[in-house]
Amino acid sequence: MSPEHLRRQFPALQRPDLIYLDNAATTQKPKAVLDAMAQFYTSDNANVHRGAHRLSARATRAFEGARDTLARFINAPQRDSVIFTRGTTEAMNLLASSLGGQVLGPGDTVLIDTWAHHASIVPWQQAAARAGARLCPIPLDASGRLDEAAYQALLAQRPKVVVLTEIANALGARTPLARWLPLAKAVGALTVVDGAQAVGHQAVDVQALGADCYAFSGHKMYGPTGIGVLWGRHELLASLPPYQFGGEMIDQVSFEQSSFNRLPFRFEAGTPAIAEAVGMAAAADWLMAQDRQALAAHESALLARARAGLSAIDGVTLYSAFEDNAGALAFNLTGEHHQDVGIWLDQAGIAVRCGHHCCQPLMAALQVRGTCRVSVAAYNTEAEIGAFVAAMQEMKEFLDDDAQ
Ligand SMILES: Cc1ncc(COP(=O)(O)O)c(C=O)c1O
C-alpha cells in the first residue's frame, strides 16, 4: 500500500500547498471517476429509460450498469433494491417518509444513536412527530461509547424502528452493529443503518450485516456529489408507498388516478443524476480494485499517529478517540475556539473541519459548542499527519508564549 502512488491518481491533490484532512466532509476524486463522467457526457449522454434511439439505449445501459456495480459493491442480493438517491440525506428522508408513515403510530418509539447526523435525526424526528410517535436517543456512556445497557433498556420499549450510524462522522467512532442489529431484530424493530462514513473505509456487505435498510453517499467514497444509494430488503421496499411522484416512477396515469412502477423505479421520480451514478459506480470499481484491508490498515496507522501526537499536547481534549476509530478524530484545545484552531491550521495549508459537524445533539451531550475534526482517506500520508501535529504543537507554543 503506497499512498504516494495512490495520490498520483487524484488531480486535486497535485497542488503542493494543500494537506487535505477533511475527508469525512467529502473525499477527493480519482481520475478514474472524472474520466468515467467525462466519457459519459462525451459519448453516451441522453435521457434514460424512455428514448427510442440508440444513444438513449447507451445511456440507459450505463445507468443500469452503474446500479449493477453498486449492488456488487455492497453485496446486495437483488439489483432492483438498489435505489439511486441524491445521497444519504435523501435516502433517510425517503425512508422516514415512506417507512415511517407506514409503520409509526401514536405512542410508538424510534431509537437513534446520540452521534447520529442531522440527516438521520431530523427526518425521523419529523416522521415521529407526524405519527404522534417519539424519537428516543441512545445515550453515550462515560467512556464516550454508546451505552449498551441503556440501549437494551430502550429496546425493552419495543421500538418500531432503530436507526444506527455505522461510523460517527463527528468522531470516527463505531457503533457495534454486529451485536446491536440482532438485539433490535429480536424485539421486532426495523433497522436502518447510515453507512455514509463507512463505505469509504471498509468493504460493506449488506447481507452479512443484516440490517433492513442501508444508506450511503457517493461523495464520501471517492465518487461525485449529488448521488447516493438506498438499499433495502426487497419485500420491505416493495411494500412501501412512493416518496416522490412524477416521471419514471409511474405505471399508468390518468387525471383520476395513477398506479406506480416496480422497484427500483418506483422510488426514482424524474430524470436521475445519470453521470453521477456512472461516476459513483466508477468510484466503487476503483475501491473494489484496491486492497481494502491494506487501505484500512494505512488509515488506522494515520489516525494512531494523529492520536498520539495530539495526546502529547498539553490542553488537547480528544473525544471518543478509540483505537478502532475509522477515518476521523475529534478534539479541542483548551481555551481556544474550535474555529480559531481551524484558521491556524488553514494558514498552514491544512484543511480540517471545525464546528458541530451536523451533530448538534452530540455536541450537547459532549457539553461543547463544537470541535475540530481531522479526517483521513487512503491517499493521506504519514508526512501530512506529521505536518498537522507539528502545526498544532506550534499553535500551542505560540499561545503559551503569548500568555507569558
Ligand atoms: C454519517 C453521515 N450521515 C449522513 C450524511 C449526509 O450525507 P449527504 O450530505 O451526502 O446526504 C453525512 C454527511 O456528512 C454523514 O457523515
Query: What is the torsional sign of CA 300, 304, 309, 313?
Result: positive
* Partners of residue 138 on adjacent β-strands: 113
pLDDT (tens digit per residue) in 153-189: 999 999 999 999 999 999 999 999 999 999 999 999 9
Q: What is the whole-number distance in angstroms between the Cα of residue 7 and the centre of ligand 1?
A: 24
Q: What is the pTM of this model?
A: 0.98
Q: Please state the domain count of the chain.
A: 2
Q: Are residues 261 and 320 in the same domain?
A: no
Establish if 28 belongs to a structural domain: no
Establish if 26 belongs to a structural domain: no
Amino acid at position 376, single letter: V
* pLDDT at residue 388 is higher than 80: yes
* pLDDT at residue 50 is higher than 90: no
Q: Are residues 359 and 271 in the same domain?
A: no
For residue 267, the enclosing domain spans 33-288
Single out the residue in 266, 288, 310 at which a domain terminates: 288
Q: Are residues 337 and 283 in the same domain?
A: no
Catalytic, out of 136, 358, 359, 372: 358
What cell was used for 178?
A: 454486529
- Classify strands 109-113 and 371-375 as parallel, antiparallel or unpaired: unpaired
Q: Are residues 281 and 308 in the same domain?
A: no
Establish if 195 belongs to a structural domain: yes
Q: What is the whole-number distance in angstroms between the Cα of residue 195 and the centre of ligand 1?
A: 9
Q: Are residues 283 and 325 in the same domain?
A: no
Q: Are residues 125 and 218 in the same domain?
A: yes
What cell was used for 385?
A: 499527519
CA distances from 249 to 258, 267, 367 (A): 10, 6, 45
Establish if 267 belongs to a structural domain: yes
Task: Give the whole-angstrom CA distance, residue 112 versus residue 357.
Answer: 17
Q: Are residues 124 and 250 in the same domain?
A: yes
What cell was used for 179?
A: 451485536
SS (H, E, C) 120-177: HHHHHHHHHHHHCCEEEEECECCCCCECHHHHHHHHCCCCCEEEEECECCCCCCECCH
Query: What is the torsional sign of CA 226, 327, 144, 163?
Result: positive
Listed in sequence order, the DSSP H helices in 156-291 are 177-186, 206-209, 234-238, 274-288
Establish if 257 belongs to a structural domain: yes
What are the pocket residues of ligand 1 if the criterion is a CB atom closer than 6 Å to any ligand atom? 87-89, 117, 119, 165, 169, 194, 196-197, 217, 219, 228
Q: Take atom 7 of ligand 1 and give the residue whose Cα is closest.
A: 88
Q: Which residue in 112, 159, 105, 103 sits closest to 129, CA to CA?
A: 105
Single out the residue in 288, 305, 332 at which a domain terminates: 288
pLDDT at 128: 98
Active site residue 358: yes
Q: Are residues 189 and 264 in the same domain?
A: yes
Q: Are residues 250 and 353 in the same domain?
A: no
**The domain that contains 15 carries what CATH number?**
3.90.1150.10
pLDDT at 92: 98
Q: What is the whole-number distance in angstroms between the Cα of residue 82 and the centre of ligand 1?
A: 18
pLDDT (tens digit per residue) in 72-90: 999 999 999 999 999 999 9
Q: Are residues 318 and 242 in the same domain?
A: no
Q: Are residues 10 and 41 in the same domain?
A: no
Single out the residue in 288, 306, 329 at which a domain terminates: 288
Establish if 27 belongs to a structural domain: no
- The three-class DSSP label of residue 291 is coil
**The domain that contains 175 carries what CATH number?**
3.40.640.10
Q: Is the peptide bond before 123 cis (omega within 30 degrees of 0)?
A: no
Mean pLDDT of all residues in 117-143: 98
Task: Give the whole-angstrom CA distance, residue 287 versus residue 327.
Answer: 16
* pLDDT at residue 21 is higher than 90: yes
pLDDT at 57: 96
Q: Are residues 254 and 325 in the same domain?
A: no
